[in-house]
Amino acid sequence: MRTSSPPIWEIAIVLLEVSNITTAYRGLIAISDISIAVDANEIVTVAGANGAGKSTLLKSIAGMEKARSGTVNFAGERIDTIPAHQITARGLAYVPENKRLFPRLSVADNLRLGSYLFRNKADRDAPLDFVFKLFPRLQERLPQRAGTLSGGEQQMLAISRALMTRPRLLMLDEPSQGIMPKLVDEIFEAIGKIRETGVTVLLVEQRLSESLEISDRAYVLQTGRIVMSGPAAEVRDNPEVRRAYLGM
């Protein structure tokens, strides 16, 4: 007897699939045999203590660290064998922990550098309306040098520059680090709005409570290995997670 298929809108489409990745950092194994999957239009959090391998995982996906073994597939294509700039061109944007802005260039110039993939001016400028709605203060500071912005404003600029590449997947490494508490909520609210535009988000974040609040699923890393995964609510309510990461 033939069973009916689920409606197409209920079928999860895997956008990112990391399979058995092992990566060394400075000669030491940083992550070992890691496998994760991120479906299109999800927000997925990767949690763990400092040194657990979270940043190495994102760098391995983005092509900034070379994996010793394993594969990374994005939108149905293998990407762990190609350079980082080609990965970006395929629609995967990465905002590192240190932001990597050009401090002596203006906010406007940093944004323009994010749109280098597009030759047509209309295509280059297309994301600006959304960026300015997301972070209105950046529009007010367009002539200002990036290095003179506050920590929170620099993070807003780093995220916005990544959005200028018009990504399908945005990876954020500790977006709340070094930001005044009053701006942290603004950053997390912005991440939710980014997902509403159809951009998938993979998030590494120390503020586990806030990140799980906006996430669909989560992975927990410990000493380079995944020790827990599941729906964000289940991970948040797990007694070990609450004790180790939420202080409860």
Reported as a single tens digit per residue, the pLDDT across 25-67 is 888 899 999 999 999 999 999 998 888 999 999 999 999 999 9
pLDDT value at residue 56: 95
How confident is residue 122, by pLDDT bands cut at 50, 70 and 90? Answer: low
Flag whether pLDDT at 24 surpasses 80. Answer: yes
Question: Long-range contacts for 34-38 (Cβ within 8 Å, ≥24 apart)?
Answer: 34/70, 34/221, 34/224, 34/225, 34/226, 35/70, 35/226, 36/219, 36/226, 36/229, 38/14, 38/169, 38/200, 38/202
How confident is residue 221, by pLDDT bands cut at 50, 70 and 90? Answer: very high
How confident is residue 5, by pLDDT bands cut at 50, 70 and 90? Answer: very low
- Average predicted confidence (pLDDT) for the chain: 89
Flag whether pLDDT at 2 surpasses 70. Answer: no
Flag whether pLDDT at 192 surpasses 70. Answer: yes
Mean pLDDT in residue range 153-164 = 95
The CATH code of domain 13-244 reads 3.40.50.300
Query: What pTM did the predictor assign?
Result: 0.90
